[in-house]
């Protein structure tokens, strides 16, 4: 459908969740990506994607601000994905020390069409080697820590998201919404992405935005 095979529409999308993940990091993309099916249904079509929340062992996780969330699958249940999305949060620091998680992210990422992250999820995909020699975004406050950990990747400041090859990374927390919506437009069309945005009334107007 796309001239760029990286952006051929996906079928299977998996979002990794884990203890101390930041809530909006994964729920923002979840809302956008599931809205693809809501819009398709409104158009009289079948679902276009299957989006699953995947936790390491398939059990519930407790996100960093205290929300407990169930998983649709365990890592062991998932051998292939078209798109993997790794959100951030304080939980990414212990996560990159877990051999089982890093093995899974590395293996699934290698066969995926797209490897994506939000916020400090970039730490996880960097540790798995996906940002080596690539430009990437991460949380604004995490640049020094990324480098101190010896992770490889060329961090880009002051952007919402970066695409480099088949890796797409976003800045912190709320930036995952913009990144996901951008992907929707690449997969289908800008018009379809606008329908998704309209479905979630995404016409943001941040209060107090100016330094008044």
Q: Which residues bind its own copies (CB under 8 A)?
A: 22-24, 27-28, 30-31, 34-35, 38, 53, 60, 65-70, 72, 119, 139-140, 160, 171-175, 177-178, 181-182, 185, 190, 193-194, 197-209, 211-212
Residue (120 or 166) nearer to its own copies, CB: 120
Q: Answer whether 207's CB lies under 8 Å from 61's CB.
A: no
Instruction: Return the number of the residue (106 or 174) whose C-beta is nearest its own copies.
Output: 174
Residue of 119, 126, 142, 197 marked active site: 119
| Angle separating helix axes 175-187 and 23-42, nearest 10 degrees | 30
Q: Which is nearer to its own copies, 83 or 128 (CB)?
A: 83
Tell me how far, at minimum, the Cβ of 7 lies from its own copies, in Å: 13
The torsion angles phi and psi of 188, rounded to 5 degrees, stand at: -115, -80
Of 58, 151, 27, the residue nearest 97 (C-alpha) = 151
Could you tell me what percentage of the chain is helix, strand and coil, using 3-state DSSP and rounding each to the nearest 5?
Answer: 40, 20, 45
Question: Which residue's CB is nearer to its own copies, number 109 or number 176?
Answer: 176
The least CB distance from residue 176 to its own copies, in Å, is: 10
Distance in angstroms (rounded) separating the CA atoms of residues 175 and 189 = 20
Taking the complex as a whole, the smallest distance from the CB of residue 38 to its own copies amounts, in Å, to: 8
> How many other C-beta atoms lie within 10 A of the C-beta of residue 160?
15
The H or E element containing residue 185 is helix 175-187
Q: How far is the CB of 8 from its own copies (least distance, A)?
A: 19
Active site residue 202: no
Catalytic (active-site) positions: 119
């Amino acid at each position: 459908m796309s001239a760029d095979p990286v952006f051929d529409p996906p079928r299977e999308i998996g979002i990794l969740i884990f203890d101390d993940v930041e809530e909006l990091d994964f729920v923002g993309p979840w809302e956008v990506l599931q809205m693809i099916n809501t819009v398709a249904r409104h158009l009289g079509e079948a679902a276009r994607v299957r989006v699953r929340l995947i936790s390491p062992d398939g059990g519930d996780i407790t996100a960093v601000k205290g929300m407990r969330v169930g998983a649709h699958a365990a890592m062991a249940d998932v051998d292939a994905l078209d798109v993997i999305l790794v959100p951030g949060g304080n939980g990414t620091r212990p996560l990159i020390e877990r051999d089982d998680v890093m093995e899974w992210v590395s293996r699934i990422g290698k066969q995926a069409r797209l490897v994506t992250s939000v916020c400090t999820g970039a730490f996880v995909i960097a540790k798995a080697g996906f940002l080596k020699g690539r430009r990437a975004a991460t949380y604004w406050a995490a640049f020094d820590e990324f480098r101190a950990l010896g992770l490889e990747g060329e961090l880009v400041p002051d952007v919402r998201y970066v695409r480099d090859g088949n890796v797409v990374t976003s800045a912190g927390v709320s930036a995952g919404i913009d990144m996901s919506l951008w992907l929707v437009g690449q997969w289908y069309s800008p018009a379809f992405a606008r329908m998704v945005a309209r479905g979630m009334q995404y016409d943001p107007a941040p209060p107090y935005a100016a330094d008044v």
